Chains A and B, each alone.
Chain A
Amino acid sequence: MNLADLATLIQAPYHLTPGHLVMMAVGLLLIYLAVSKEYEPVLLLPIGMGAVLANLPLTGITDEHGLLGMFYQIGIETEVLPLLIFIGVGAMTDFGPLLENPKMALLGAAGQLGIFGTLLFALFLGFPMNQAASIGIIGAIDGPTSIYVASLLAPELLGPIAVVAYSYMSLVPIIQPPVMRLLTTKKERQVRMPYQAREISRRVRVAFPICVTVLTSLIAPVAAPLIGMLMFGNVLRESLVVPSLVKAAQNELINLATLFLGLTIGSTMTAASFLTMETLMILGMGLAAFVMDTVAGLLFGKLLYVLTGRKFNPLIGAAGISAFPMSARVVQRVGQETDDQNFLLMHAMGANTAGQLGSVVAGGVVLALLT
């Protein structure tokens, strides 16, 4: 054995750059937030670990034939991983609250207006169209859709977009309430809305995802994989005949896909791609998009308040985003702090479910317009 061989053992530290160190620190920060603060640990923990791994010099782990490099080509370049997640999301989504109250679909649509507002704003700031659209999608607070759209339109921004989308997802209870209090009057927040449970037949429950798939795919064919997988998961769920498949989709499938997706997205976070002005701008615009979505939903809620003769509580409009069920819970909480006899939860769940669907459709529309 040659003594010089020993030198190879201590080669790596010489290749550590400040960029590596900062990015590993970012990775550690994400791990810290996930472990200590439980901020979306399911995604942020794998992303953090991926970032640490990717920024160790000389490992080759993110190279074409490196482990994470292969995960990237197989799972993200092909869009497979985010789509597998949608099967799981579909299997977990109960469209019941929306079907009970179909007019909530309007709120799910209004909640997506911030996406397009942010898109215009990002264009104004000089982002090219594909990147601007990917940034706008963050506003719906829909992690999987943000990742899917970004992986197709702007893979170079995947890391920051995923981190920003999931970070804001855990900040829903902090960001939304002040906006809601600011934009509604006490009188509006006090509007009580009695809840009438309605039985939705199994036939409707099964037909709904199929109809949505066919209709949206005819309008925006490129959205078919996205909506198709979401609704496939939902058909499994509502059919009631394949409980084992539903369980697999809700647990094993979505968990494994999330695990690999997080790790792989983390591995794209290199100093060159992450430590840029753009990341900071995405952070800022993601927040703007989120606030604008909330504002759009609330304003639409206020319109319904007027149109229904003050029978509609405008707070429910804020639940027209994808963060489920956090946003509906926030509506319930803000409603109750004004009137402890007011229960808006079930209505807000309807709007929130519509928001989940709305953000996926909005993602599909953006893709249809840009690809």
Chain B
Amino acid sequence: MTTKKRLLLTVDGKNYDVLVEDDGTSSVTVVVNGKKIAVNINEQAATEQPNAAPVVSETPQLVQAEEPQKKVQGSGSVVRQVYAPMPGTISSIEVRPNQKIAKGDSLCHLEAMKMNNAIHAPEAGIIVEVLVVINQTVKNGEVLVVYESR
């Protein structure tokens, strides 16, 4: 049996229209702003932390990370995203998950209009997830990196 649930979420000032299609298996189909993403469910997280849904739907890979709940619950820290400021191609990636970053550190490089632009960390924190790979074409506003601010 397939259940559908539509969520209108605002995360970090950005609006998301999320449609979750659950067919009862360990994976669900999530449509974020019209973009279809297959997501595996961490059963524990799904049952114990139903409120974690916004994080699940928004950054699907986060679900597969070891302990997504902790990151949300951790005192004073907030999970934030770094967006592509313009369309382009990822030319290099300088950070890995769990890496500590300082404000101004270069996270990755985005080549746009034949110019290689460093994407800098807006604040200090720890990298949660890198959502792009080298040579990936990204759209304006696409999430590049998720980090937990300190």
Contacts and interface: CB of A to CB of B under 8 A. Distances in A.
Nearest to A329: B115
Interface in B75-127: 85-87, 104, 112-115, 117-118, 120, 122
Contacts of B117: 332, 336, 343, 345
Contact of B104 (A194, A197, A329, A340): A340
A328 interface: yes
Contacts of A343: 85-86, 117
B140 interface: yes
Interface in A324-371: 325, 328-329, 332, 336, 340-341, 343, 345-346, 349
Contacts, number: 36
A141 B58 CA distance: 47
Given A197-B87, A197-B140, A341-B122, A332 B115 contact: yes
Contact of B112 (A196, A336, A341, A346): A346
Contacts of B150: none
Interface string A193-204: 011110000000
Q: Which of B118, B139, B140 has the most CB of A within 10 A?
A: B140
Given A195-B85, A195-B86, A340-B104, A345 B115 contact: yes
A194 B14 CA distance: 14
Nearest to B121: A340
Interface string A305-341: 0000000000000000000010011001000100011
B89 to A, nearest CB: 14
A86 B30 CA distance: 50
A266 B122 CA distance: 51
Contacts of B104: 340
Contacts of A195: 85-86, 140
B86 A346 contact: yes
A226 B118 CA distance: 38
A325 B113 contact: yes
Given A197-B140, A340-B120, A325 B115 contact: yes
A332 B85 CA distance: 12
B87 A345 contact: no
Contacts of A194: 85
24 contacts: A195-B85, A195-B86, A197-B86, A197-B87, A197-B139, A197-B140, A325-B113, A325-B114, A328-B113, A328-B115, A329-B115, A332-B117, A336-B117, A340-B118, A341-B120, A341-B122, A343-B86, A343-B117, A345-B86, A345-B112, A345-B115, A346-B86, A346-B112, A349-B113
Rank and list the top 6 A-B pairs by shortest CB-CB distance, nearest first: A343-B85, A340-B120, A197-B140, A346-B86, A329-B115, A195-B86
